[in-house]
Amino acid sequence: MKFKTLCVLGMGYIGLPTASVFASKGLQVTGMDTNARIIEGLKAGHLHIFEPGLRDLLLEAVNSGRLQISDEVLPADAFIIAVPTPFYQDKRADLRAVVAASESIVPHLRPGNLVILESTSPPRTTVDIVAPILEKSGLTAGEDFLLAYSPERVLPGKILHELVDNPRVIGGIDPTSAEAGRDLYRAFVKGDIILTDATTAEMVKLMENTSRDINIAIANEFSRLAEAFDVDIWEAIGIANLHPRVDILRPGVGVGGHCISVDPWFLVEAAPQVAQLVKMARQVNDGQPSFVAEHIAKIAGEIDGKTIAFLGLAFKPNVDDVRESPAVELVYALQDAGATVHAYEPFKPAAGLPNVHQVAHLEDALVDADLIVLGVAHDRFTELDPANVRGQTRANLVYDAVRAWDKDLWENAGFQFFGLSRKY
Ligand code: SAJ
């Protein structure tokens, strides 16, 4: 099948690059979002997210006339839903954006159209929720229009590369829908395209992120055991990973972002009696910021009344996304223990996080600090020269929660150096 026009619903971390890449391959694309501020910004060439290479690609797509930014759905041969699926307070999936996006397609749906859901969703969402909404158009899924689920699987920070090169899974509600999805994504996907059914594709996506969450949880639990037994966790992991069938991931301040810290809960919600290990891993990772805060307090003797320069608030290195960030949770835990925290995040100097005192420059964080905590291994921080930092702060103590700094360099610059379950 040949698709000439496309409407992408949701101009976030996935929808915006996807729309831009399709436009760069010659499709006529509408990039739609319900957030007026985002739409106005994009029309003026301002991106609300940071992703390497995205700005140039977007500007090229808009200037070529092949990408039109819009606040409403426009008719097209194919529609892609790429809206967020967060969770409610009680960890149940919040599908309101998927439902609203599906409803907004209904008036524009024509025979022969293809609709793809990309948003990470609980098993059966495509079949049980999206299909019935689209059928309010009077058309029947699989007969009059095509419907598939194709999960995004790209890594923030490497989105443009992974969008093109990763294998792509397309799960149709029937084989014809899956094949139509393959014809659409073949416009830019260089990786293998694997066809399956919609519910398998939904499950695959959740299994991928859940398996990573569980693997990070065991690394975090090992860091606590190492602390209890006075073992250097990094040395132990290094040795264990020499085994040909062992590959332990990195312990840290916890697991964040809008994917891995959210998606496993969709399986817990769907089958709470079965998904016991999944739930336990989530709880271990969610508890890691408290563990790190307690470790910092133990090392510093007392943090009540101390001022901490806290470096990095993003959920992982070299991204600007602070959603579900464990570094932010660590800030809250340190504040709960009585510390005053001056947080610096170079990718988002004013993230507007409630009860977080953010400073605009690194120097502002360092100047009054008693203690420096590294929460995220941004390149900007790993490249810091400890000798320079020495001249900007009265702090004597450094805590590297993510093992990004060289202990000797910091000690040579006159700091006492500590980190997550490291031996000194
Ligand atoms: N983390 C650790 N230790 C590690 C690796 C990661 O603590 O060894 C932490 C990170 O600091 C971060 C969190 O885990 O807080 C998640 O980071 P990540 O880099 O593992 O993953 P995401 O959330 O950026 O992207 C994931 C990817 N999924 C997998 O690798 C299975 C990506 O391919 C998905 O497209 C994305 O989720 C998504 O959108 O679902």
Q: Looking at residue 423, what is its pLDDT?
A: 65
Ligand 1: residues with CB < 6 A are 120, 152-156, 208-209, 212, 216, 249-250, 252, 255-257, 259-260, 315-316, 326
Q: How far is the CA of 211 from the centre of ligand 1 (A)?
A: 11
* Ligand 1 atom nearest to CA at 250: 8
* Ligand 1 atom nearest to CA at 211: 31
Domain boundaries, the chain: 5-191, 233-419
CATH topology match: 5-191 vs 233-419: yes
Q: Looking at residue 421, what is its pLDDT?
A: 79
Q: How far is the CA of 2 from the centre of ligand 1 (A)?
A: 34
Task: Report which of 138, 269, 266, 123 is spatially closest to residue 203, judged by C-alpha positions.
Answer: 123
Among protein residues, the one with the nearest Cα to ligand 1's atom 34 is 153
Our measurement of the distance from residue 9's CA atom to the centroid of its chain's CA atoms, rounded to an integer in Å, reads: 19
Task: Report which of 128, 22, 34, 28 is spatially closest to residue 83, judged by C-alpha positions.
Answer: 34
Q: Is 198 exposed, middle or buried (0-12, 13-18, 19+ CB in 10 A)?
A: buried
Q: How far is the CA of 196 from the centre of ligand 1 (A)?
A: 24
Q: Detail the DSSP E strand segments found in 96-230.
A: 114-117, 146-149, 168-172, 193-197
Q: What are the catalytic residues?
A: 205, 259
Its pTM stands at: 0.94
Rounded Cα distance, 34 and 10, in Å = 8
Pairing state of beta strands 78-81 and 193-197?
unpaired
- CATH code matching the domain that covers 233-419, chosen among 3.40.50.720, 3.40.50.620, 3.40.50.800, 3.40.47.10: 3.40.50.720
Q: What is the pLDDT of residues 139-192, one digit of tens each?
A: 999 999 999 999 999 999 999 999 999 999 999 999 999 999 999 999 999 999
* Ligand 1 atom nearest to CA at 257: 23
* Ligand 1 atom nearest to CA at 208: 31
- CATH code matching the domain that covers 5-191, chosen among 3.40.50.720, 1.20.1600.10, 3.50.50.60, 3.60.40.10: 3.40.50.720
Our measurement of the distance from residue 154's CA atom to the centroid of its chain's CA atoms, rounded to an integer in Å, reads: 9
Q: Detail the DSSP E strand segments found in 231-333.
A: 307-311
Rg of the chain, C-alpha, whole Å: 23
Q: How far is the CA of 216 from the centre of ligand 1 (A)?
A: 9
Tally of residues, the chain: 424
Which of 85, 255, 263, 313 to mutate for ligand 1's pocket (most ligand atoms within 8 Å of CB)?
A: 255
Q: Enumerate residue ranges in the chain where pLDDT < 50.
A: none
* Ligand 1 atom nearest to CA at 152: 35
Among protein residues, the one with the nearest Cα to ligand 1's atom 14 is 255
Question: Distance from first CA to last CA of the chain, Å, rounded?
Answer: 63
Count of Cβ atoms closer than 10 Å to residue 150 Cβ: 25
Which of 13, 155, 222, 285 to mutate for ligand 1's pocket (most ligand atoms within 8 Å of CB)?
A: 155
Rounded Cα distance, 213 and 153, in Å = 15
Q: How far is the CA of 260 from the centre of ligand 1 (A)?
A: 6
Rounded Cα distance, 120 and 154, in Å = 12
Q: How far is the CA of 250 from the centre of ligand 1 (A)?
A: 11
